[in-house]
Structure 1
Amino acid sequence: MDIIFLDHYELGQYIPGSYMGKVVLHEHNAEFIMWKRLAELEKNPIKKLLLNIESGRILKAEKTYAGRADLVLAAPNDIDELCSQGVDRKKMRKTYHLGEDFMLDAAPMQFEKTKKSLLYIGTLTWEANVDGLIWFIDNCWTELRSRNPDLILSIVGKNPDERIIQLAEDNEGIELRGFVRDLEDCYPIHRVFIVPLRFGSGIKVKILNALYRGIPTVTTAIGTEGLETIDGKHLFECTGAEDFIDKVDVLLKDKELWRSMSDASRELSRKYTWKSLLAEHDSQLESLI
């Protein structure tokens, strides 16, 4: 055996003690950061303590298996976080969690063919997604509806968390679409894509997919980590509820800004394709053999 490829740090425990070959670790996220950020948001002191303990436990494991590896693949932002904790930068190489780059072949979206509506797509059992949607609905939705009385929020994803179901029942204009097999049924008819993340790590595939498709997007600094986006050009990166509301509102109404952002986001996303990424990784793996 030439190489063992670990597709998550938790798989490091299965490397045989007698194994003397090369090891590659694929860090999907600097996972300790996600738990650390969740702890920072937690108000319950006992939960905060437990989340910080979990973050420390994960960091120890990530450092152990990154130390055992000859090559570590991680998102650019996660490389910085891991190296700040003592992982050797010389063994790190950047990677991206890419999405459906075939959407670059689809016809450009047209403002006139969209509805005055917002689109959210994500795993609705993942706490970072659930937390972000709850925050958005609690802090932004009422004001956005007051400015745009006919506004719709379409949430796509199977098995939504009970908290999301309850909020959809309690607030007008929120639709739960469930699982949608072909997302081309969703993107071209909605005007703005939202990604209201408050914690997480790694590359956010939903952001890349929105860039590929050219749907103008409003998110946070956590949503854009690891990507070479420019706030106001490729998407909007917001710092709080008022900012989020204003940026969504302007994209709903400003046709020229919408078109400019749609075009710019697709152009940027051409840097993040599977063909170029896999060719780079092939070369890196061959260098280990």
Structure 2
Amino acid sequence: MNQTQSLLIIGFVWPEPNSSAAGGRMMQLISLFQEQGFQVTFASPAQDSDFMVDLSQYKVEKKSIALNSSSFDTFVKELNPTIVLFDRFMIEEQFGWRVAKNCPNALRILDTEDLHCLRLARQKAFKEKREFQTTDLLVEEVAKREIASILRSDLSLMISEFEIELLKTTFKIDSSLLYYLPLLLESDQIPDLEKLPSFENRKDFIFIGNFLHEPNWNAVQYLKEAIWPLIKKELPEAVLNIYGAYPSQKVLQLNNLKEGFLIKGRAENANEVVLKARIVLAPLRFGAGIKGKLLEAMQCRTPSITTSIGAESMQADLSWNGFVEDNLEIFAKKAVELYQDKKLWLAAQINGIAIIEKRYLRSSFEVDFEERVEFTLNNLQQHRLNNFMGELLQHHTLKSTMYMSKWIETKNKNSN
């Protein structure tokens, strides 16, 4: 690609690769586009955080922007990016119409992370103690916003094949608007087995996950109340280390030395703590997307036990690196079994590496991704003509959102 082409990423937050899989995913996208020859600018209306990555170290220009401000129009017009990448649908809602108005020829890409409406509809069904149905999505308020955002975008990056099928069947989204790009690993990110701690040199169970993410907090509660007591009964000396960024006071209060249930908070190096553990536990009861914690477990060759929600869209027809179990008694029983049985544990390790090699290696995706981006850029006019519903939504959004945003901007000026 032409070296002078530029990419503007508008972030919901500044990337924190050590805090969440979403932060790691964003750094992967930056790297993929840089390899295609793009100069990258990362803009966000978010406040700086203590754990954000130093973008200048990655040759990325950092720009703070404001919500509901025409200053963004001036900025984006001057930058005149070839591609604009929106980090989640909420950012496309805020800035998509401004990009469409000021840079009509820029390719607009949405990175969904996971399907928010699916996660929220499942969460609602769980709290109402009923089975989730795909028809729940049709009445989910967020679905209306998220699907509109997908339709307005030229291309949406999806990390889950299950979610792609859902969009195509339930919402009738054309496959030309969707692109499967999961979390990726470099081949050199998979350490040699000989260099890793052995079965005998590993101990304890581990859970890891950002506590700002509701499915993670729920899973920790589930472990504390129902699963861990069953495991502890069979393995009295066992310890469960709970790691995660942004633990609240209610999370910290679960710490109990006597029960071997230890809240450790943020891990300085997630890989390091997962490498030392013998088993990863991830009893997720709702959620969406694919789970960075489980891919990381495979990368560290640490077997895991999760639920069908946890493993969704991750393994295809390959064997899991441990067990996938929704029944809590069997979940606990399998955890004990895997913790004690070296032969079973070693077989699980091998399964995890097979999943990575067949489904998550960057080398399997980067060429096809570059070709898809280039093809869409070169055929943008026809691509948009084929997406009439998207153009219709863009037309009405431009009118309604534009006037609402201008009203907010005027109101803000008058109140200062």
Report the TM-score when normalising by structure 2: 0.62
Of 113, 117, 120, which residue of structure 2 is paired with 1:28?
113
CA distance in 2, matches of 1:242, 1:231: 24
Aligned counterpart in structure 1 of residue 277 of structure 2, from 185, 190, 208: 190
Q: 1:48-197 maps to which residues of 2 (within 5 A)? A: 56-74=140-158, 75-83=160-168, 84-98=170-184, 102-106=188-192, 107-115=195-203, 117-169=204-256, 172-197=259-284
Cα 1:5–1:55 change in 2 (3 A) is: farther
* Long gaps (5+) in structure 1: 45-51
Moved more, 146-155 or 64-73: 64-73
Amino acid at match of 1:161: S
Q: Is the 8 A contact 1:103 1:212 kept in 2?
A: yes
Alignment partners' CA distance in 2, 1:163 and 1:55: 32
Q: 1:48 maps to which residue? A: none
Change in CA separation of 1:41 and 1:132 when aligned onto 2, cut-off 3 Å: same
Unaligned runs of 5+ in 2: 1-80, 130-135, 378-416
Q: CA deviation at 1:169?
A: 3.1
Change (3 A) 1:224 1:206: same
Cα deviation, residue 194, structure 1:
0.8
CA distance in structure 1 between the aligned counterparts of 2:213 and 2:233, rounded to whole angstroms: 29
SS at match of 1:105: coil
Aligned residues: 282
In the other structure, the counterpart of 2:88 is: 8
CA–CA distance in 1 between the matches of 2:119 and 2:278? 30
DSSP 3-state at the match of 2:367: helix
| Counterparts of 1:77 and 1:53, CA distance in 2 | 14
Query: Are residue 282 (structure 1) and residue 370 (structure 2) matched?
Result: yes
SS of the residue aligned with 2:355?
A: helix
Instruction: Check if 1:206 corresponds to 2:290.
Output: no
The answer on whether the counterparts of 2:230 and 2:329 sit within 8 Å (CA) in structure 1 is no
Distance 1:104 1:90, change over 3 A: same
Report how far residue 284 of structure 1 moved.
Answer: 1.2
Identity %: 23
Q: Which has the higher contact order (CA 8 A, sep 6+)?
A: 1
Structure 1, residues 216-257: CA drift from partner, whole Å, max 9, x if none? 100011111221256864231111211210110110111100
CA 1:231–1:281: 2 relative to 1, 3 Å: closer
Change (3 A) 1:72 1:53: closer
The reply to whether residue 216 of structure 1 matches residue 303 of structure 2 is yes
Q: What is the rounded CA distance, in whole Å, between the counterparts of 2:113 and 2:201 in structure 1?
A: 36
Distance 1:89 1:201, change over 3 A: same
Relative distance call for 1:193 and 1:53 in structure 2 (3 A) is closer
Change (3 A) 1:169 1:192: same
> How far, CA to CA, are the matches of 1:79 and 1:207 in structure 2?
20
Structure 1 contact 30–201 (Cα < 8 Å) conserved: yes
Distance 1:231 1:138, change over 3 A: farther
Relative distance call for 1:257 and 1:82 in structure 2 (3 A) is same
Specify the alignment match of 1:244 in structure 2.
331
Partner of 1:119: helix, strand, or coil? Answer: strand
Cα deviation code 1:48-82 (max 9, x no counterpart): xxxx8997222111221211222221121211222
The 8 Å contact of residues 191 and 215 in structure 1, kept in 2 or not, is answered as yes
How far has the Cα of 1:5 moved from its partner?
Answer: 2.1
Distance apart, 1:137 and its partner CA:
1.5
Q: Match for residue 385 of structure 2?
A: none
Between 1:193-202 and 1:6-15, the stretch displaced more is 6-15
Contact 1:118 1:152 in 2 (8 A): yes
Q: In the alignment, is the contact (CA less than 8 A) between 2:322 and 2:338 conserved in 1? A: no
Q: CA 1:229–1:172 in structure 2 vs 1: closer, same or farther (change >3 Å)?
A: farther
Q: Is the 8 A contact 1:211 1:266 kept in 2?
A: yes
- How big is each residue's C-alpha offset from its partner over 1:81-107, in whole Å with a ceiling of 9 and x where there is no partner? 222222222321111134687540243
Look up the equivalent residue of 2:161 and give its one-letter code.
Answer: P
Asked if the contact 1:220–1:238 (Cα under 8 Å) also holds between the matched residues in 2, the reply is yes
State how far apart, in whole Å, the 1-side matches of 2:353 and 2:157 are.
Answer: 25
| Residues 163 and 55 of structure 1, relative CA distance in 2, 3 Å threshold | farther
**2:256–2:262 CA contact under 8 A, matched in 1:** no
- What CA distance in whole angstroms lies between the structure 2 residues aligned with 1:97 and 1:171? 37
Is the 2:322–2:345 contact (alpha carbons within 8 Å) kept by the matching residues of 1?
no
Query: Structure 1, residues 114-158: CA drift from partner, whole Å, max 9, x if none?
Result: 12x101111123211010110121111111111010010011123
Residue identity matched to 2:181: T
